[in-house]
Copies of this chain bind each other. A is one copy, B any other.
Amino acid sequence: MSRPADSAVSAASAVSAVRTYIEQHRAAFLDDLAEWLRIPSVSAEPGHASDVRRSADWLAAKLRETGFPTVEVWRTPGAPAVYAQWPAADPDAPVVLVYGHHDVQPAAREDGWETEPFEPVVRGNRLHARGAADDKGQVFFHTLGVRAHLAATGRTAPAVTLKLLVEGEEESGSPHFRALVEEHAERLAVDAVIVSDTGMWSEDTPTVCTGMRGLAECEIRLYGPDQDIHSGSFGGAVPNPATAVARLVAALHDDHARVAVPGFYDGVLELTDRERALFAELPFDEQRWLRTAGSHAAHGEAGHTTLERVWARPTAEVNGIGGGYQGPGSKTIIPADAMVKLSFRLVAGQDPDQVEKAVRAWAAQQVPPGIRCEITFGAATRPCLTPLDHPALQSVVRAMGRAFDRPVRYTREGGSGPAADLQDVLGAPVLFLGISVPSDGWHAPNEKVEIDLLLKGVETSAYLWDDLALHWRHGP
């Protein structure tokens, strides 16, 4: 899990050259990043549409300045993406696509920010701003990374053919991303995708993530009486949709907290003993994790640890439930309708379309006579997973190990992202290289990035292209 012994000397000299280069350029790098972070590229807010476009243009200019010979802003029906390409000199070198996004979550001072979210502030080792970690900082470390790579190796082009795709709608569910990738599939053809939009275990424990869960979401709405009716006049004698929705949700899990929808687990790729052992090696403090969650108990599928539950097991969660009177006091009605919003996290081997079918069939069976059921599914996200022994994954592990000078361990990500679309459309494995830590506050007030970890990201990026070119070749 660290540098190979046979290249120890050249590796040591490469490390030294890379570190020197980064040290020389760190101030300008942080200044540039701060300039980007000042652009409030909030994709969810229509009023910020021009800022999202400005953010794309800013990045495109910066990538040209970095040296990418091809840089384009790709329009979509929503916010634009930025594409850049830098061919390797060797036509047999691996072709790699770096994925990230330049849009950010909404943020306002009054949400609890100690400083203006779009006015970057350095406090100690921390750079605070919306997007510092998610995801501008982690996109941006590749710009200094590739320059450090060139400087340290004396190359004029990267050791791999490097492509970058930085989308502008990730925080809005990437509604046009798959179509964009399909449209440009030929130009985007790659051997591997490197996603820099995740995190690592902790400051002390560098990790690479090997997969993300997928996501299927639905709203189930149950209709009872044509309007709210008096619970005195009718109570006890007609079906109540709020009771029905509760019984539906109660039937979603069995007594072992397994999802009770028939067929839900079909195809699930079970964890191997080695993967379970690797998860168990991580310095996981469940009590501390619960404090991070603000939760007061661990609870989940029987027979699995907490990490297995959040990373490698499919789940069904209630995101919202509602029906009838929810104001102060009481109102003695049988409500006309009630609804529940469910999200299903999916793991490798599960097919969102099959899950949707299974949920629809199950729900239809749960609904009692006199209650009408409407189910709406949103766009799904597929799960993705790269095998532990994949050569490109091992390159990421080695590059990261060299940058951090520590053993690199393995994680997965419980959340979901558009990475799976890249895997699907491009037929390439997806690898995750992220240096964010759990305290960075993604989607929360006072988001930050740890500056020394950000520079370790630069360093990892600087080592990665050489390592990939050394251990892997282009082609099927």
Contacts and interface: CB of A to CB of B under 8 A. Distances in A.
Interface string A107-150: 00000100000000000000000000000000000000000000
Given A321-B322, A368-B297, A442 B251 contact: no
A67 interface: no
A378 interface: yes
Most-contacted residue by chain B among A226, A246, A413 (CB, 10 A): A246
Contact of A294 (B215, B225, B237, B372): B225
This chain's copy number in the assembly: 2
Given A237-B300, A250-B246, A295-B224, A317 B345 contact: no
Contacts of A340: 242, 246
Contact of A237 (B245, B296, B298): B298
A256 interface: no
Interface stretch (A96-104, A265-273, A305-313, A423-431): A305-313
A231 interface: yes
B250 A295 contact: no
Contact of A444 (B227, B297, B313): B227
Contacts of A407: none
Contacts of A172: 329
Interface in A290-332: 290, 293-301, 306, 309-310, 313-315, 317-326, 329-332
A239 B297 contact: yes
A310 B378 contact: no
B299 A370 contact: yes
A333 interface: yes
A462 to B, nearest CB: 28
A294 B338 contact: no
A451 to B, nearest CB: 22
A339 to B, nearest CB: 7
Contact of A318 (B243, B343, B414): B243
A51 interface: no
Interface residues of A, number: 91
A108 to B, nearest CB: 14
Interface string A347-386: 0000000000000000000001111100000100000000
Contacts of A299: 237-239, 368-370
Nearest to A379: B330
A312 to B, nearest CB: 10
B321 A236 contact: no
Interface in A386-417: 413-416
A162 to B, nearest CB: 28
Contacts of A217: 330, 332
A383 to B, nearest CB: 11
A212 to B, nearest CB: 8
A262 interface: no
B414 A234 contact: yes
A242 B294 contact: no
A411 to B, nearest CB: 11
B297 A369 contact: yes
B339 A319 contact: no
A339 B322 CA distance: 9
A345 B236 contact: yes
A323 to B, nearest CB: 5
A333 B329 CA distance: 27
A155 interface: no
A335 interface: yes
A48 interface: no
8 contacts: A217-B332, A233-B415, A233-B438, A235-B317, A237-B299, A246-B246, A246-B340, A326-B341
Given A235-B343, A242-B321, A319-B331, 5 more contacts: A225-B293, A229-B293, A236-B300, A242-B320, A332-B343
Interface of A: 44, 112, 172-173, 213, 215, 217, 219, 224-240, 242-243, 245-253, 290, 293-301, 306, 309-310, 313-315, 317-326, 329-336, 338-341, 343, 345, 368-372, 378, 413-416, 438, 442-445
